[in-house]
Amino acid sequence: MEEIEVKILDIDPENVRISLKKAGAKLNKNVFQRNFIFSNKLTKSKDLTVRVRQENDKVWLAIKTPKIKENGHETCEEYEFPIDNIEIGEKFLNTLDITMDGIGEAKREYYDLFDCSVEIIKIPKIPEYLEIDGSKINIMKVTKVLGFTEKDFFQGSLLKNYNIKEKFLAFNHKQ
C-alpha cells in the first residue's frame, strides 16, 4: 500500500488542536505506541524499515520501502499485517537473521480531516510535531487550513535532525 506523508516540526500543539477543531476535524484516537525497529545487512543496504508496533493490545509487523522525497512529500510502499504479539514478531524476524536494534515510544493523537490522518506526535527528546497522511491534494488542504505551507515540510530523519544518537527512546512513564 502506498503511503504519502508530510511532517511539520516544532509545532505549537495547542494551536494545532484549535485549528483542527475550527476546521471540523474529529479526534479519532489517542494512543501510546512502542515501535521495535529491526535490521540486518540486507535491510540496511536496501534502506528498508522493518518494525513491530504495539498499540495497547494490538501488534503489527511492517516493512517499508525507501522513501521517495518529492516537493516535501515522502512516499513509500508499506506492507503491514497484524500479529499475535511482539515475541512472535521478534522470533519471526530473528529466524530471518533480522535483529532488534532500537525501540521508540510515541504518544499520538489521531485526527481525521479531508480524508487525511492528522497526527500530533510526541517522542522522547523531540519537540512535538505534526504528521499528515493522505493524498497529495488533501494533504495540501489540511496544511493550508492549519496555517502551514510546503516550506514547513520536513524531510529526513528526526533523530539526525535533533542530533539524537540513542536507539532506545522511552518516556519515563511519569509524563
Domain boundary assignment for the chain: 2-169
pLDDT tens-digit readout, 57-85: 899 999 999 988 877 788 889 999 999 99
Pull the grid cell for residue 44: 540496511
pLDDT of 154 > 60? The answer is yes
pLDDT > 90: percent of the chain: 84
Q: What is the pLDDT of residue 163?
A: 94
Q: Which residue has the higher pLDDT, 38 or 57?
A: 38
Q: Is the pLDDT of residue 22 over 60?
A: yes
> Does 174 have pLDDT greater than 80?
no
pLDDT at 153 over 70: yes
Question: Judging by beta carbons within 10 Å of its beta carbon (0-12, 13-18, 19+), is residue 28 exposed, middle or buried?
Answer: middle
Give the pLDDT score at 175.
46
DSSP secondary structure of 39-75? E-HHHHHTT-EEEEEEETTEEEEEEEPPPEEETTEEE
Q: What is the pLDDT of residue 56?
A: 85
> What CATH number should be reported for the domain whose range is 2-169?
2.40.320.10
Q: Which residues, 6 or more positions from 1, have their beta carbon under 8 angstroms from its beta carbon?
A: 77, 78, 79, 80
Q: In this model, does residue 4 exceed pLDDT 80?
A: yes
CA–CA distance, 55 with 37 (Å, rounded to integer): 15
Mean pLDDT computed over every residue of the chain: 93
